[in-house]
Amino acid sequence: MGLFDRIKQAFTGEKKETPVEQTETTEKYEKGLEKTRKTFSSRMNELFANFRTVDEDFFEDLEEVLIESDVGFEVTMEITEALRQEVKLKNAKNKNDVQQVIIEKMVDIYEESESGDRSIQLNKDGLTIILFVGVNGVGKTTTIAKMAHQYIDEGKKVVLAAGDTFRAGAIEQLEVWGERVGATVVSGKAGGDPASVVFDAVKRAKDENADILIVDTAGRLQNKVNLMKELEKMKRIISREVPDGPHEVLLVLDATTGQNAMIQARQFKETTDVTGIVLTKLDGTAKGGIVLAIRKELGIPVKYVGLGENMDDLEEFNPNEFVFGLFSELIKDTL
């Protein structure tokens, strides 16, 4: 049974079991995706308001709706091409049939583009090291604090490394967050060598038998060569001290920046081995379709999403919850 059918059951009551449980997490996704869902539903409703027939004008209008929702060019073209075939195959002519085919194809493409392990790869034999990368202003430091808070709540000992030694106030900001969440922070001098901070942090984490070391890094993309050299130096130090580290390299992207986030993702993918993406501020944008574009065009798994400003609003990415939160109103309209 496909994801579309499982979600549809939640509204039709075809089975006693609810495919997407109405848990606190579900509510967070629904609330966090409210702007995207309402905007997307509104655009789709406008598209179908004057619906007469499925012709080239209709497909052009549909492409415009999808691209404006930051679904991405590649995904948009795939959806419209698939829709052309499905409309012929199913002889879909009326508004509800066509709309249902669109949603089904978007869900199918989403499931097909599933790639990589969404869970954080923890070191079962000792210290887990997570490297955070991303440009300034995307919410990287706050995200580090939220993740540290989660691990500390689970009973783990967490050390933070203030490896962004170049941005004014970055060290102090991480130190404040560390104190708030109860994590040890290892820092150096402003403008100092980030790699030496990482070396000290690894040593401190091992000496204190810490479970998790989270490393903040500089967010400068103006000179990709220097950034790459810094990250490679950090990785060498980490792997020398912890042979299979770093266990994760998480790229933080701001969902509100839309296609700019895609550009950043491509640039960071060129300079370092990104293992997963954290998409922040998803609750603050009407363009949550960027998740579809990231998954399809970059092949990097989205591992966490930011659905609010509270410490508990960083959620592990759940595709079922995401699709439910994004398409629920449209699916209800087709029933």
Q: Residue 11: what pLDDT? A: 55
Q: Check if the beta carbon of residue 92 is closer than 8 Å to that of residue 105.
A: no
List, for residues 137-158, the tens digit of each pLDDT value. 899 999 999 999 999 999 999 9
The CATH number of 128-318, from 1.20.1730.10, 3.30.1360.120, 3.40.50.300, 3.30.830.10, is 3.40.50.300
What whole-number distance in Å separates Cα of residue 286 and Cα of residue 284? 7
> What is the reported pTM?
0.85
Q: Higher model confidence: residue 228 or residue 252?
A: 252
Q: Check if the beta carbon of residue 250 is closer than 8 Å to that of residue 130.
A: yes
| Residues annotated in a binding site for GTP | 134-141, 216-220, 280-283
Whether the upstream peptide bond of residue 319 has omega within 30° of 0, thus cis, is no
Q: Residue 198: what pLDDT? A: 97
The SS3 call for residue 214 is strand
Topology alike, domains 3-116+324-334 and 128-318: no
Residue 227 pLDDT more than 90? no
Q: Check if the beta carbon of residue 320 is closer than 8 Å to that of residue 135.
A: no
Q: Residue 334: what pLDDT? A: 59
Lowest pLDDT segment from 140-149, 181-190, 230-239, 290-299: 290-299
List, for residues 185-223, the tens digit of each pLDDT value. 999 999 999 999 999 999 999 999 999 999 999 886 556
Q: Residue 306: what pLDDT? A: 92
Q: Residue 236: what pLDDT? A: 94
Query: Looking at residues 264-287, what average pLDDT do you find?
Result: 88
Query: Reading across the β-sheet that carries 248-254, which strands appear in turn?
Result: 184-186, 158-162, 212-216, 128-133, 248-254, 276-280, 302-306, 314-316
What whole-number distance in Å separates Cα of residue 95 and Cα of residue 82? 17
Highest mean pLDDT among 144-153, 298-307, 322-331: 144-153
Strand stretches in 165-291, DSSP E:
184-186, 212-216, 248-254, 276-280
Confidence class of residue 65 from pLDDT cuts 50, 70 and 90?
confident
- Fold (topology level) of 3-116+324-334: Four Helix Bundle (Hemerythrin (Met), subunit A) (1.20.120)
Highest mean pLDDT among 48-52, 167-171, 204-208, 251-255: 204-208
| Residues annotated in a binding site | 134-141, 216-220, 280-283
Residue type, 229: K
Q: 151 Cβ partners below 8 Å, 6+ apart?
A: 158, 211, 212
What is the Rg, in whole angstroms, of the alpha carbon atoms belonging to the chain? 22
Residue boundaries of the structural domains of the chain: 3-116+324-334, 128-318
